[in-house]
Amino acid sequence: MRVVILAGGMGTRLSEETDTKPKPMVEIGEQPVLWHIMKHYAHFGVNEFFIALGYKGEVIKRFMWDYFHLNGSMTIDGSTRQVEPHGREQHDDWRVHLVDTGRDTMTGGRVKRLEPLLKDGGTFMLTYGDGVGNIDVDKLLAFHRAHGKLATITAVRPPARFGGLVLEGDRVAQFSEKPQTGEGWINGGFMVFEPGVFEYMHDDKTVLEAHTLEELAQAGQLAAYRHEQFWQCMDTLREKRLLDGLWQSGQAPWKVWDA
């Protein structure tokens, strides 16, 4: 199974971090959020990644190169220019395709540019490079295969940004910092697609959410997998600090892998 990760946006609402790096490279703990997403999928046996690059894509390329080449000790022989790794930790068995999809290309356009690499391989997954959750990928895939439509999105409840107030006249009857709101469902990423979705993507200006997914819904080809548990995007510095705090406390709900 393969997964596309959209990693080309500029992340302007997180400019404190994204002036020098793309948003998927903003760190949670000591690793970028992109790494957390990849570890999540790999836990379920999804270990072939197509990373759609755009804004500052070279930063992601450099990270991946260093991650696989500079982990552990090595001996360098200056006379022969040979590098001998040793004592190296076991690597993740990932196959990573780093694909430049244009700095200003829209989300659907980025996926369209990957069509030559994906169209003949059957079902594939797709998610954003800035959101984590404890989604059971096996159950998501089974749900997708059971309904027979071209596409599945994971529907999540938006996390509350503010505390909830219950008022009785001018009196605050109840104050609560709720983990989830009752505002309905939103697209949390963690999607599953059949190659037929490429017919709903036209050029670089195609927006996945406003064009492709809407057209799929109108055609009766879009289903929603409801996820009631933890999900959190990282759009703001406040959300980055929230995720970082969960990770540092050892209570990160999305950490389903062992190491």
- Span 158-166, average pLDDT: 59
What rounded mean pLDDT belongs to the chain?
Answer: 88
CATH code (residue 18):
3.90.550.10
Q: How does residue 168 score in pLDDT terms, banded at 50, 70 and 90?
A: low
> pLDDT at position 175, please?
55
235 found inside a domain = yes
145 found inside a domain = yes
Which of 68-77, 94-103, 165-174 shows the highest mean pLDDT? 94-103
Q: For 65-215, where are the E strands, in sequence order?
A: 73-77, 82-86, 95-100, 124-128, 131-133, 151-156, 164-168, 171-176, 186-187, 191-193
255 found inside a domain = no
How many structural domains comprise the chain?
1
Is pLDDT above 90 for 18? no
Q: pLDDT tens-digit profile of 117-152?
A: 999 999 999 999 999 999 999 999 999 999 999 999
> pLDDT at position 172, please?
44
254 found inside a domain = no
- What's the N-to-C CA distance of the chain in angstroms? 21
> pLDDT at position 208, please?
94
259 found inside a domain = no
83 closest CA partner among 67, 92, 93, 72: 72
Is pLDDT above 60 for 222? yes
C-alpha dist (Å) from residue 67 to 61, 154, 207? 10, 30, 32
DSSP count for the chain of H helices, then E strands: 8, 16
> pLDDT at position 68, please?
86
> pLDDT at position 81, please?
85
37 found inside a domain = yes
- Span 101-121, average pLDDT: 95
Q: How does residue 216 score in pLDDT terms, banded at 50, 70 and 90?
A: very high
165 found inside a domain = yes
Domain with 63 in it: 2-248
Strand partners, 73: 86
Is pLDDT above 50 for 215? yes
239 found inside a domain = yes
Q: pLDDT tens-digit profile of 63-92?
A: 999 988 887 788 888 899 888 877 656 678
> pLDDT at position 186, please?
87
